[in-house]
Chains A and B, each alone.
Chain A
Amino acid sequence: MPASVHSQEPQEADQSMIDAEPEVDPIMLEEKRVVVLPGSSETSASFQFENEGHTMGNALRYAIMKNPAVEFCGYTIPIPLTPRCTFAFRQLVSLTKWNGWRSCSLPRTPRYTTTALEALEKGFSDLMDLCDVVTEKFTDARDQFNEENSNRMQS
């Protein structure tokens, strides 16, 4: 196992978790809703979302982990007791989909098939599609139930 990548990448992520005081070096985006934390690279990044919690965090983490190109994704709410709506959660997206390691003759260059940002966006769109499907299935099931019940009442 490539100890170098395995041990260092999460470490890098850990580092950014500790170091990341949003006030220190915030890369401000629209209303600071999404912040890319320091220490991020193209294939391994930490994102911080304002005003989000487990509601979006866990589902999104799961959706991202479903992507076979993603090696690891986790999230945390660093300070659970911060006042309502000011807490942030961080999304760690570290991506290493490599083909090179197992056949040792290849140069030790992992081949990334996707970037952290792409994976994050894919996670979002997957979850969005899932929501659409569930809404659709729910309305279908409800209509079916109503139909069956009205039939039962008539007969």
Chain B
Amino acid sequence: MEYEMDMEPTGPQVTVREAEPYRVDFRLSSIDLAFANSLRRTILAEVPTMALDLIEIESNTSVLADEMLAHRLGMIPLNAKNCDQMDYTRDCDCEDHCVRCSVTLSLHARCGNGIMTVYARDLAVQGERMNDTIGDPVITDAEGKGAIICKLRKGQEIKLTCLAKKGTAKEHAKWAPTSAVGFEYDPHNNLKHVDYWYEQDAAKEWPISENAAWEPAANPDQPFDYDAEPNTYYFDVESIGNLEPDMIIQQGITVLQEKLATTISVLSGEGEDGHVGGVEDADMMGGADPDAYEPPEGMDGHLTAYGNGAAGAWGASAQTPYGATPYGQGAYGF
């Protein structure tokens, strides 16, 4: 079977094509599109990182509004290595926040004369934290300044305390570990998943990507292979410095596995008695013989949301906010 064919003998293949401190470019092959896309999605949105989430402004006499300042602070990438040691604040046992679920940073800048530029490096970690690096602002430029937070004129001051929390980009993009994830498959468009717009000739007007060198184009004389499926995926993961690119990918897979694991544990927890929470018995219609199929009795009973029984949420007796039954006086609510 196909199942054995592309799972067992070869298995997924990974080739790292380029690796830089903040970037990794790799080729993933012998795997299905669904999985490759899941990996892309988890890397983009579900790898946990650290970001400033709560800003307490004691003094802000700069030209920026408090909200603007808080927003800018939130966007500053913070070191998130080993942030699996941290808890999400919402899951933590503590009253408000604690060392296990947050890192406190403070910023105090006052301009004596001229114009002072406040950089991310001016954020100082206060108190304890789970490890030595977590929550440090990411500084990648040669001067070691980091991102600009704001500029101050003579006499202006900002003084604030910030709380960095663990989160994912699903909640807010500031927790994104990547600035971009390049994802491509079938650069020659052999599978015809893309229908190019063109004026005269699509082949001339659309440049072929660099990845095209990694696989052959289909022979135009051959008939279209409608059974072909995508097999090779080109990832280009660009980190913003809070996690190493290879950690992002490993974390991405781990996140996916955690999703599966929690569901498996729920399923196996209920599966111990051999039934899904007893529901099978209650609902099984016609026993094991599918020929004895009958429409679910609940069509007008407790099983359906649309039934006309008293329990039916949309039953005929239901009044709409406009006084009448939704659609006339018919037996069914719909």
Chain A: residues with CB nearer than 8 A to chain B? Answer: 4-5, 8-9, 12, 15-16, 18-21, 23-25, 27, 29-31, 33-34, 36, 38-45, 49, 52, 54-56, 58-63, 66-68, 84-85, 96, 108-110, 117, 120-121, 124-125, 127-128, 130-135, 137-142, 144-146, 149
Contact yes or no, A62 B267, CB < 8 A: no
User: Shortest CB–CB separation between residue B2 and chain A, in angstroms?
Assistant: 8
Kindly specify which of B38-46, B53-61, B104-112, B218-226 makes contact with the partner chain. Answer: B38-46
- 14 contacts across the A-B interface (CB closer than 8 A): A5-B291, A8-B293, A9-B293, A16-B296, A23-B313, A24-B304, A39-B298, A66-B2, A84-B170, A130-B31, A137-B12, A138-B14, A142-B16, A145-B19
Tally A-B pairs: CB < 8 A: 202
Contact of B269 among A30, A38, A141 (CB under 8 A): A30
Bound CA span A139–B251, Å: 12
Which residues from A are CB-within-8-Å of B1? 68
Task: Please indicate which of the listed interface residues B39, B271, B296 has the most CB atoms of chain A within 10 Å of its own CB.
Answer: B296
B260 in contact with A133 (CB, 8 Å): no
Which segment of B93-101, B193-201, B280-288 sits at the interface?
B280-288
Shortest distance from the beta carbon of B305 to any chain A beta carbon, whole Å: 4
Distance between Cα atoms of A145 and B27 in the complex (Å): 13
CB <8 Å contact, B38 and A59: yes
Q: B12's contact among A42, A110, A133, by CB below 8 Å, is which?
A: A133
B246 within 8 Å of A by Cβ? yes
Cross-chain contact B266 with A121 (CB below 8 angstroms)? no
B115 at interface by CB-CB < 8 Å: no
Chain B residues positioned under 8 Å from A8 (CB to CB) = 290, 293
Q: Would you call B306 an interface residue if the criterion is a C-beta within 8 Å of the partner chain's C-beta atoms?
A: yes
Which residues of A sit under 8 angstroms from B24, Cβ to Cβ?
Answer: 142
B87 lies within 8 A of chain A by Cβ: no
- State whether A41 and B260 are in contact (beta carbons under 8 Å apart), knowing that A135-B250, A138-B246, A142-B16 are contacts in the complex: no
Once A56-B256, A61-B34, A62-B32 are accepted as A-B contacts, the answer to whether A137 and B14 lie under 8 Å apart by CB is: yes
Chain A residues lying within 8 Å of B26, measured Cβ to Cβ, are 138, 141
Given contacts A29-B277, A121-B271, A131-B260, contact A39 B290 (CB under 8 A): no
Contact A29 B260 (CB under 8 A): no
Report how far A4 CA is from B290 CA in the complex, Å: 9
Task: Report the bound CA distance from A40 to B264 in whole Å.
Answer: 19
Is residue B270 contacting chain A, with contact meaning CB distance below 8 A? yes
Contact B41 A54 (CB under 8 A): yes
Evaluate contact between B19 and A149: CB separation under 8 angstroms. yes
- A24, A68, A130: the one contacting B3 at CB < 8 Å is A68
Contacting residue for B313 out of A16, A24, A55, CB 8 A: A24
Main secondary structure of the interface of A (DSSP, over half): helix
Asked whether B296 lies within 8 Å of A134 as measured between CB atoms, the reply is no
Given A27-B278, A49-B263, A117-B267, 4 other A-B contacts at CB below 8 A? Answer: A5-B293, A41-B284, A42-B280, A134-B14
Binding site for A on B (CB under 8 A): 1-3, 7, 11-16, 19, 24, 26, 28, 31-35, 37-39, 41-42, 45-46, 170-171, 246, 249-250, 253-254, 256-257, 259-264, 266-271, 276-280, 283-286, 288-291, 293, 295-296, 298, 302-306, 311, 313
Given known pairs A23-B313, A67-B3, the reply for A135 and B253 (CB within 8 Å) is yes
* Contact present for B285 and A19 (CB under 8 Å): no
In angstroms, Cα B42 to Cα A146, docked, is 25
Q: Which residues of A contact B16 (CB under 8 A)?
A: 138, 141-142, 144-145
Q: Is the CB of A131 within 8 A of B303?
A: no
Taking a contact as CB atoms closer than 8 A, the residue among A62, A124, A139 that contacts B250 in the complex is: A139
Task: Indicate whether A29 sits within 8 Å of B293 (C-beta atoms), given known contacts A42-B284, A56-B260.
Answer: no
Q: Known: A56-B38, A117-B271. Contact between A134 and B12, CB under 8 A?
A: yes
Residue of B nearest to A33 (CB): B266
Give Cα A8 to B14, complex, Å.
44
Contacts of A128 in B (CB 8 A): 257, 260-261, 264
Contact B32 A134 (CB under 8 A): no
Separation of A38 and B281 alpha carbons in the complex (Å): 11
User: Chain B: which residue is nearest A41 at the CB level?
Assistant: B284
Known A5-B290, A59-B38, A117-B267; judge A39-B303 contact (CB<8 A). Answer: yes
Closest to A39 in B: B296
Shortest CB-to-CB span from A137 to chain B, Å, is: 4
- Measured CB to CB, the closest approach of chain B to A107, in angstroms, equals 9
Contact partners of B304 in chain A: CB under 8 A: 19, 24, 38
Across the interface, name the chain A residue whose C-beta is closest to B256.
Answer: A131
